[in-house]
Each structure stands twice: as C-alpha cells, then as structure tokens.
Amino acid sequence: MSPVRPVDVWSAGRLRIVVFGTPAFAVPTLTHLLASRHRVVGVVTQPDRARGRGQRVAHGPVKTLAAERGVRLLQPERLKRDLFESTFSELDADLGVVAAYGKILPDWLLQAPRLGMINVHASLLPKYRGAAPIHRAVMTGDSETGVTIMRVVSALDAGPMIAKAARPIDRNEGSDAIERDLAVLGADLLMSVLDEVAAGRAEGVAQTDAEATYAPRLTKEEGRLDFSRSALEVHNRIRGLRPWPMAYTFLAGARLVFHEARSSEREAAGREPGTCVALDGAGITIACGDGRAIEVLQVQPDGRRMMTSRDFLAGH
C-alpha cells in the first residue's frame, strides 16, 4: 500500500467518504457521518437477498437509510477489480469506512481511497477477530466487550488499532441488545478520531497476533442446545445466539426456540440433562450437565409467535 497522504481537513474542506456496511449495526455509523461536515459520496452494501420464511427480497437497513438520504448506492455481486474498479473510482474517495459490510475487501480496493480504509469492529481487538465477535463474546461468558477503530489490512481484522471503547456485559444480556449498544458506541468513537485520521496523525498501535482469538460466522446448527453442558454454558448460548440463529431444542419432535432464560436456584443433581425439573408460573426449569438448571422464560413453538413459558404451558 502506498504511504498515506495527509489531507489538511481545515483547508481542503470535507472528506469524501465511502461507507461499506449492510446490517443494522452499520446504521449509526452512516447516520453520524451523514450528520457530520464530511461528505458521504457513496454507500457500498450487499446485494438484496431473500429473507425470512417467505423468502421475500428485502432491502438491508443501510440501503434503506442511504436511499432515503439520496446517497449513491453500489451493490456489487463481486469485488473483482475488472468488474468494480471503474465504478468505484468515480466516487473519488478520500477514505473508506467499513462497518459490518460482510465481505472481505481485496487489496486493490483497500488501496483505492487516498487515506485507505478504517473499520468499526465490534470487539476489543485482538480478541474476536472475524464475523461474529459479539455473539462469541457472550457465548464464551465474557464480562466485557467493546469496539475498536482500526485500519483495514489484508489480514482479517489485524490492522493497527486507532481507538478502543469498552462496556460491560451483564450476565443476562443478549447479543441483540449488546449489538445495538455497540453500534452507537462505535459510531461515536469513529467521529472522535476522524479528524486525526484525515490529517494523517492516526497511525494506530499494532496488534499482538499471539493474543488474537477468532469469532467465526455463526451457523444454524450451532443453535441446537446440548444440555449435557453446564447450566452457565447453556444460558450463555441462549443469550449469545440472539437474534440469529436462536437457541432451540426439540419437544415431541417439534422445534422449540428459547428466547430468554436465566440461571435457576433449583438443584438438579441426579436429574438427566435435558429433563424438566419444574413446570410452574415462573417458567420451565431444565436440568443441565453440572447438576444445576436453567429457567426458560420465553419460548417460540415452531411456526408460532413468541410467548411466555406460562402461556406455552397453558396451551396458547
């Protein structure tokens, strides 16, 4: 990559920024940039995909916002140089900002903006490099997470770190709520360092590769619960797999999704993992492999709406 050429934002005016993002996590980043003195000259987002049971083609959250604000949208199927370079060069970008775009960017694209690319990554790097850092942190039972603003390099999430911000993880918080919070935290952190990046004064601190851990993309199969694990592990999995793929088990051959649970004070020693310890107004209490139990508060039978465990037991 060619050396970063500093831009004096005070004399040269606004930066021309291209945002790479697709899901709701990237919306606060795009919103903050649109409200700033810099100019968002384009948004690169994933092509529209069929979603949900009906497999209806729907716009992603970033595309929806960009269209509402009249920002030029690019949705390349592939990022090959011979297919995308001429279109991207029309944007004459000073800086690329990446927030959960969903694809690996090729080297030629990383070098295309004058100031390169920076990323809003939802972990405290070098922990949890990869596609699912929030979910993996919750599933592991971490007590803290955060966001990192980093320079984008060829290696996955391995670039120099420009800034970090941390926040605690409550023991009953789900990944969905944490993601919404981190999306705003990351957008705020980005804006706090943007002028330093623009002026070429934000080189960043190198990551220690030996301390890196990885957060691979989630699969639907990971949602099936294994009650031979400890109650804490099962609880962390339930809250860590929200909003997708969701934790589930099978009851009488039918899939039953668990939306919310908590650790139970009931003893389950001697009970076979996966069996019910109690069915009452508080929830469904299930034995786990360490002799303890979890209390399931909200469920969703296959093909039906989410409901409280009490309503489920009442036959609703």
Which tokens belong to 301?
């039978």
In this prediction, residue 315 carries a pLDDT of: 83
Say if residues 30 and 43 touch (Cβ distance below 8 Å). yes
In this prediction, residue 7 carries a pLDDT of: 45
- CATH superfamily to which 220-313 belongs: Formyl transferase, C-terminal domain (3.10.25.10)
- Radius of gyration from C-alpha coordinates of the chain: 22
169: pLDDT strictly greater than 70: yes
Confidence of residue 280 (pLDDT cuts 50, 70, 90): confident
This model's pTM is above 0.85: yes
Q: Is the omega angle on the peptide bond into residue 245 within 30 degrees of 0, that is, cis?
A: yes
Lowest mean pLDDT among 6-10, 123-127, 285-289: 6-10
> What average pLDDT does range 167-177 have in this prediction?
97
- Token match 């989630």: residue? 218
Domain range annotation of the chain: 9-119+149-158+172-201, 220-313
**C-alpha count within 13 angstroms, C-beta hemisphere, residue 2:** 9
At 32-53, the pLDDT tens digits run 999 999 999 999 999 998 766 6
pLDDT averaged over the chain? 93
Say if residues 195 and 262 touch (Cβ distance below 8 Å). no
Confidence of residue 54 (pLDDT cuts 50, 70, 90): low
In this prediction, residue 18 carries a pLDDT of: 98
In this prediction, residue 210 carries a pLDDT of: 98
At 135-148, the pLDDT tens digits run 999 999 999 999 99
Confidence of residue 149 (pLDDT cuts 50, 70, 90): very high
Q: What is the CATH number of domain 9-119+149-158+172-201?
A: 3.40.50.170
